Structure 1
Amino acid sequence: MRYLRYLVFGSIAVGLVIVALANRGEVSLTLMPLALGNLIGFNLQLQIPLFTVIFLGVMTGLLIGFVWEWLREMKHRTAAKTEHRQVVRLEREVSKLKSGTAKEQDDVLALLEKVS
């Protein structure tokens, strides 16, 4: 099983290297469209390889998807925690009743017996 995992990771790594080598040409990334940048007087421009843009786009998409799913499932996790706490409380109460350490009568009846 461990070797199968290494094989899958190795093939993914080889695929990523092939994509990077095929897309190593430089591209120009600008912060704003040229007309808007000229109007404002500021426009950040970077020259980076295309594979960097591709990999950063994929990583950003994965990160957004993971955070989105984590936020979407939060209500289910909190409901499960609440349900688990209730089950634990009920199990403790049942075990207390079975062991006989629970009060067998009301507090009022116990006080009346003490007095008499």
Structure 2
Amino acid sequence: MIRYLRLIFLAVLGVALLVVALANRAPVPVRLLPDDMAALTGLTWAMELPLFLVIFGGIILGVLIGFVWEWFREHGHRATASQKSREVTRLERELAVLKDSTSVPPKDEVLALLDKR
């Protein structure tokens, strides 16, 4: 059921994106800098693109910037988790060594079998 809902959602999203693209086919100039600043610096790069490419490119760029921002923001959490994981592994090894060194073999064979579990 969820699979069909996902497919229906993707189909509706695809149709909506197609409608937006068809409605915004007119070419628009995309400039690197505003006209006054471009004249001052000499960087007059410009390109004509369909408006829907500019819209979709802005959405994709915004999502990518958000992903990178969150990845940097969560770096501290990942570092702490890695440090704690190494500490747990070290403590488990230390506990295993302590159990082996302090364990007294039971005198009864049945108790010895139970302790191995």
Q: How does 1:81-96 map to 2 (within 5 A)?
A: 81-96=82-97
Is the 2:24–2:50 Cα contact (8 Å) retained in structure 1?
yes
TM-score, with structure 1 as normaliser:
0.76
Shift of 1:56: 0.6
- 1:61 lines up with 2:65 in the alignment: no
Unpaired segments ≥5 residues, structure 2:
104-117
- Alpha-carbon RMSD: 2.0
The equivalent residue for 2:16 is 15
After superposing the two structures, state which structure 1 stretch, 74-83 or 24-33, moved more: 24-33
Shift of 1:51: 0.5
Shift of 1:53: 0.5
| Residues 81-112 of structure 1: CA deviation (Å, up to 9, x unaligned) | 0001101111111122223389xxxxxxxxxx
The equivalent residue for 1:29 is 30
Distance in 2 of aligned mates of 1:97 and 1:38: 76
Counterpart of 1:64, as a letter, is I
The equivalent residue for 1:52 is 53
Distance in 1 of aligned mates of 2:35 and 2:71: 38
After superposing the two structures, state which structure 1 stretch, 13-22 or 28-37, moved more: 28-37
TM-score, with structure 2 as normaliser:
0.76
Shift of 1:32: 2.2
Give the fraction of aligned pairs with identical amino acids, expressed as a percent.
Answer: 47
Counterpart of 1:36, as a letter, is M
After superposing the two structures, state which structure 1 stretch, 51-60 or 37-46, moved more: 37-46
Secondary structure at the counterpart of residue 24 of structure 1? coil
| Residues 24-56 of structure 1: CA deviation (Å, up to 9, x unaligned) | 111111222223334455511211111101011
Count of matched residue pairs: 102
Displacement over 6 Å in runs of 4+: none
Distance in 2 of aligned mates of 1:27 and 1:59: 19
